[in-house]
């Protein structure tokens, strides 16, 4: 794993103006104050028996100020039914606690939290309040931008409870975990900016990990992705999530993701 991370870091030369809009994680930076964004994360995940599950997570985001940002998200999937079923939703908030800006570089740190409600059956040891479990997550994220390269990392504590509709959390499993991520991104195109109408193309790679605090079981995934930002407002992300290793039971760790997003600026100013 160390060799993979070093290889990716060496492959990124530090030139000019990177994006820091990752597919799987939020950076420490916020969307512009007064902006409202709409987003849809579409996940096509493979069960161990080869069954393909579809999850869609519609989301609305609001930049309240330079320091505060809020998200409201819904969870729907066809995992337990022949059609889409609403399984729950979450509220997310992020507060930027530190910012240092220099020429062609900045460093930011933010605290964030999420609270989720879910009515799905509990079917794995992995904890995931974004789509599977009722519970909360609280953590810190730090993001460094240097010219064309953005590096971001998070650490968080996650605790889950019983899901609704009588879906009790198993007493034999760990109900809390430590999550950790490393996200790397580089602006590949354009080489030089001439207009805001130019499409930006970003290449990214993210590592997502979790350790169950009660029994020490863990996993680590890799998520390479390609991102297109169109007219500085529309965004299309194409990603593939692959399990590198796991000592816990997970029903569908591998699959493809398509994220669509659009931002409306100066809506609430």
**Structural domains of the chain, ranges and CATH numbers in brackets:** 2-264 (2.40.160.40)
pLDDT of 15: 35
185, two tokens: 């991104």
pLDDT tens sequence across 96-147:
999 999 988 999 999 999 999 999 999 999 999 999 999 999 999 999 999 9
Specify the pLDDT at position 205. 98
HSE-up of residue 160 (Cα within 13 Å, Cβ side): 33
pLDDT of residue 48: 80
pLDDT at 82: 77
Q: What pLDDT was estimated at residue 4?
A: 36
Instruction: Identify the segments of the chain with pLDDT beneath 70.
Output: 1-19
Alpha carbons 266 and 187: distance in angstroms, whole number: 26
SS3 call for 12: coil
Please tell me the predicted confidence (pLDDT) of residue 19: 58
The pLDDT of residue 83 is 86
Calculate ∠ Cα 240-91-20, nearest 5°: 45
Q: What is the mean pLDDT of the chain?
A: 91
Place of tokens 């519609």: 58
Record the pTM. 0.91
């Amino acid at each position: 794993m160390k060799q993979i991370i070093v290889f990716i870091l060496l492959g990124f030369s530090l030139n000019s103006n990177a994006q820091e809009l990752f597919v799987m994680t939020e950076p420490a930076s916020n969307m512009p104050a007064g902006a409202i964004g709409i987003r849809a994360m579409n996940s096509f995940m493979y069960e161990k028996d080869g069954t393909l599950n579809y999850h869609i997570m519609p989301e609305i985001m609001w930049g309240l100020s330079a320091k505060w940002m809020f998200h409201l998200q819904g969870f729907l999937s066809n995992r337990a039914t022949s059609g889409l079923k609403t399984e729950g939703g979450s509220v997310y908030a992020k507060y930027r606690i530190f910012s240092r800006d220099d020429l062609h570089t900045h460093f930011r740190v933010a605290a964030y939290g999420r609270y989720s409600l879910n009515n799905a059956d509990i079917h794995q040891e992995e904890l995931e309040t974004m789509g599977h479990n009722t519970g909360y997550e609280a953590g810190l994220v730090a993001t460094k931008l240097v010219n064309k390269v953005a590096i971001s990392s998070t650490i968080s504590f996650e605790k889950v409870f019983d899901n609704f509709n009588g879906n009790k959390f198993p007493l034999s499993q760990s109900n809390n975990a430590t999550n950790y991520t490393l996200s790397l991104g580089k602006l590949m195109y354009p080489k030089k900016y001439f207009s805001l109408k130019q499409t930006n193309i970003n290449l990214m790679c993210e590592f997502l990990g979790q350790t169950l605090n009660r029994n020490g079981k863990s996993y680590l995934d890799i998520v390479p992705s390609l991102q297109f930002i169109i007219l500085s407002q529309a965004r299309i992300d194409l990603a593939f999530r692959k399990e590198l290793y796991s000592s816990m039971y997970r029903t569908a760790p591998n699959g493809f993701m398509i994220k669509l997003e659009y931002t409306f600026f100066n809506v609430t100013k």
